[in-house]
Amino acid sequence: SQTIHQWPATLVQPVGSPLSLECTVEGTSNPNLYWYRQAAGRGLQLLFYSVGIGQISSEVPQNLSASRPQDRQFILSSKKLLLSDSGFYLCAWSPPSGEQYFGPGTRLTVL
Amino acid sequence: GNSVTQMEGPVTLSEEAFLTINCTYTATGYPSLFWYVQYPGEGLQLLLKATKADDKGSNKGFEATYRKETTSFHLEKGSVQVSDSAVYFCALSDQWGGGSNYKLTFGKGTLLTVNP
């Protein structure tokens, strides 16, 4: 069966510091991968998606970037965090049938 | 573009009450429809799905029917439990770029609280 991992689970970072969040998927190959942010108030915002190694599409301009160095690895990064980057970050993968399966999330607090 | 509208709540019910969370959508083509559930501090879990008109998705006592004529996918459960307290998201799947590439459009979520 397929599983999706995210780490770290919780992160507290100062403004201006760098960020690296990692997501890995097991038990499948060539998945589509997604990064979402969920701010307080529950709504989900799609940040990036990837259909293959090195292929990244950005949904909104922002302070973040994404990379996919391996088939089942998806990384969310920032060179300098802003207060507004705080939130709950969710990684997801999808099979060809279109539904998405989410990881446990990373709670990021920028102080 | 595509959109999903769901009742924002919060919805507060007593245990064993009947639950309905309304969801309507706007989409071109024939999207698949989903309900996800998010428990506090966790990621989203796929609760049920329907891929074509008149399909009924069901899981854990929850069910929803894909109604193309009313563009709706309302979530129902006959008897809720305290453990059903969570945020529920309605979503539709939008194919893009041909092949097996999809993006989900989510509603804003509905907070359900079930009291004993």
Please state the rounded mean pLDDT for residues B48-66.
96
Structure confidence at residue B98 as a pLDDT band (50, 70, 90)? low
Please state the rounded mean pLDDT for residues B95-99.
62
Per cent of chain A over pLDDT 70 is 97
Cβ–Cβ gap B46/A32 under 8 Å:
no
Nearest Cα of chain A lies from the Cα of B30 at a distance, in angstroms, of 13
The DSSP output letter for B72 is: B
pLDDT of residue A19: 97
B2 or A5: which leads in pLDDT: A5
- Give the 3-state secondary structure of residue A27: coil
pLDDT at B59 over 70: yes
Please state the rounded mean pLDDT for residues B86-115.
86
pLDDT at A44 over 70: yes
Q: What are the chain A neighbours of B90 within 8 Å (beta carbons)?
A: none
- What type of residue is A70? Q
Yes or no: say if B104 and B95 are a contact pair by the CB < 8 Å rule.
no
CB atoms within 10 A of CB B45: 14
Cβ–Cβ gap A49/B103 under 8 Å:
yes
Q: What are the chain A neighbours of B34 within 8 Å (beta carbons)?
A: 99
With tokens 């507290």, the residue in question is: A12
**Mean pLDDT over the full length of chain B:** 92
Question: Which of B93, B97, B108 minimises the CB distance to A42?
Answer: B108
pLDDT of residue B99: 60
CA distance A76 to A84: 16
Cβ–Cβ gap A99/B34 under 8 Å:
yes
Cβ–Cβ gap A99/B49 under 8 Å:
yes
Cβ–Cβ gap A46/B109 under 8 Å:
no
Residues in Cβ contact with B111 at an 8 Å cutoff, skipping those fewer than 6 apart: A42, B9, B10, B11, B86, B87
- The phi and psi torsions of B94 (rounded to 5 degrees) equal -115, 120
Q: What are the chain B neighbours of A90 within 8 Å (beta carbons)?
A: 43-44
Q: What are the chain B neighbours of A44 within 8 Å (beta carbons)?
A: 44, 89, 106, 109
Please state the rounded mean pLDDT for residues A67-78.
96
Convert the pLDDT of each residue in B1-41 to its tens digit. 889 999 888 999 999 999 999 999 999 878 999 999 999 98
